[in-house]
Amino acid sequence: MDVVVSACLLGRRCRYDGGSKPSAAVCTLAEKVRVCPICPEVAGGLPTPRPPAERVGEEVLLSDGTSVTEAYRVGAQRSLEQLRRSHATLAVLKAKSPSCGIGYIYDGTHSGTLVQGDGVFAGMLKGEGVCMVSEEVVESCRPSVEHPVAIVLGTGLGHLRSLVHPVRRIDYHDIDGFPVDARPIPGHSFEATIGTVDEVPVVVYPGRIHLYQGYSASEVCALVRHAHRLGCRDIIFACATGAIPGNAHTGLGILTDHINLTGVNPLVGDASQRGLETPYVDMSEAYSPYLRTLARGVADDLGIAVEEGVYAGVVGPSSETPAEVRMLAGMGVSYVGMSTVCEVIAARALNMNVLGLTMAANYAGEGSVSHEGVLEGARQNADSFERLVRGILRLL
């Protein structure tokens, strides 16, 4: 996987003060990918050290008022050409920088005040199809013993728990909010495992309950709240789905977005009882672009066939009619399933980083659909799914 990284985050002394801003999380990532280091300021011919600069509108000014806009523009263009040559799909850029800042930059007063906006290079990168994140995003996604990665597995995908070197096991019925009378359907197990996979701390939940079983949205999301209480900041949801003909094929997929057609939402009601400050949650990036890009890069490097698309969550348990499938196709849906959407909403309300993976066992609306068929599809994709998840965990 090719990744562009601001050189100062790797420890190179190219900042205005002659120093660097190394990030341990970024340096760890850099050891596992093909890195293309960039520094637009140096590429633009600016000396190191140099007076600090901040962006003011379309201008970039030094602290004494001197304009260095042209140097920043030239350096950004040269860095963009370097990125294109690298074929990178991910750029890890220094937060708040007048070149590399994403979303927020210093306001030009040299007082530490931030305003909405992008650095010159970050602005040029928009439209290039490259995922841009700051070092803060990489750091927030880095797993540790205090912040393990949660993995919630759907129908037929629970075999992944066999990879875990266990430290502790937890019966789902001991989890607060999980219904005490719940029993797993075939392809699910109700015992969470805390441990490591390839030395990465994880909490694996090899099964879930569903709305179609008569449980509430709050009960369905009990595992998410439990993972959050254990310190998990990243959560991977894996689910079995039907592929929408014309929009996706059977096999593995990465979820890019979702449409909640269940008619329920886990945030309805008293938010404070679920540990939330507010029920009004931004879902514009429900599925982390950073985690999605890592997953895509792992799949490409390992030669695993993986598609990407929008997921529609329905109640079930009946399968979709041909008319419903045509409607979903017209809505741009690639995958349809009976889980995940409520859990993702709950995870985002708790500010967790979400990755959605799916195993499409059949084409929705075509031929005989059975639970046994879904289990067989999971078995056929078990090796690829395992390699994909292990590769993602390795990069994190």
Polymer length in residues for the chain: 396
Q: 386 pLDDT exceeds 70?
A: yes
pLDDT on residue 369: 66
Q: Which of 50-64, 264-278, 311-325, 328-342 bottoms out in mean pLDDT, i.e. has the lowest?
A: 264-278
**Distance, CA of 234 to CA of 78 (rounded, Å):** 35
Q: 10 — phi, psi (to 5°)?
A: -95, 0
Mean pLDDT over each residue of the chain, to the nearest integer? 93
Q: Categorize the per-residue pLDDT at 154 as very low, low, confident or very high, splitting at 50, 70 and 90.
A: confident
Selection from 132, 4, 117 nearest residue 54 by Cα = 117
pLDDT of residue 149: 98
Q: Is residue 273's pLDDT more than 60? A: no
Mean pLDDT of the region 105-130: 93
Segment among 4-8, 95-99, 158-162, 244-248 with least mean pLDDT: 158-162
- Banded model confidence at residue 276, pLDDT cuts 50, 70, 90: low
Find the mean pLDDT for residues 8-29.
95
List 197's β-bridge partners, or say none: 200
Instruction: Give me the pLDDT at residue 272, please.
Output: 61
User: Residue range 299-319: average pLDDT?
Assistant: 95
Q: How confident is residue 339, by pLDDT bands cut at 50, 70 and 90?
A: very high
Q: Which amino acid is at 38?
A: I
Q: Is the pLDDT of residue 159 over 90?
A: no
CA distance 188 to 154: 7
Q: Region 162-177: what's the mean pLDDT?
A: 95
pLDDT of res. 381: 75
Contact indicator for 120, 72 with CB cutoff of 8 Å: yes
Q: Give residue 380's pLDDT band: very low, low, confident or very high (50, 70, 90).
A: confident
Compute the average pLDDT of residues 224-247: 96
Q: Region 144-156: what's the mean pLDDT?
A: 91
Provide the pLDDT confidence category of residue 366 given band limits of 50, 70 and 90: confident
What is the model's pLDDT at position 199?
95
Nearest to 169 by CA among 205, 121, 124: 205
pLDDT, tens digit, for every residue of 185-206?
777 889 999 999 999 999 999 9
Question: How many Å apart are CA 278 and CA 276, to the nearest integer?
Answer: 5
Q: What pLDDT is attached to residue 271?
A: 62
* Per-residue pLDDT at 127: 85
Q: Is 42 helix (H, G, I), strand (E, B) or coil?
A: helix
Distances, alpha carbon 151 to alpha carbons 56, 164, 231, 281, 283, in Å:
44, 11, 13, 22, 20
Q: How many CA atoms lie within 13 A of 391 on its CB side?
A: 21
Residue 76 has pLDDT above 80, yes or no: yes
- pLDDT beyond 80 at 31: yes
DSSP letter at 143? -
Res. 86: pLDDT tops 60: yes
Domains located in the chain, CATH noted: 2-140 (no CATH), 143-395 (3.40.50.1580)
Q: In the predicted model, what is the mean pLDDT of residues 311-336?
A: 95
pLDDT (tens digit, 9 = 90+) per residue, 16-25?
A: 999 999 999 9
Q: CA-CA distances (angstroms) from residue 280 to 270, 271, 284, 342, 391?
A: 12, 9, 12, 14, 34
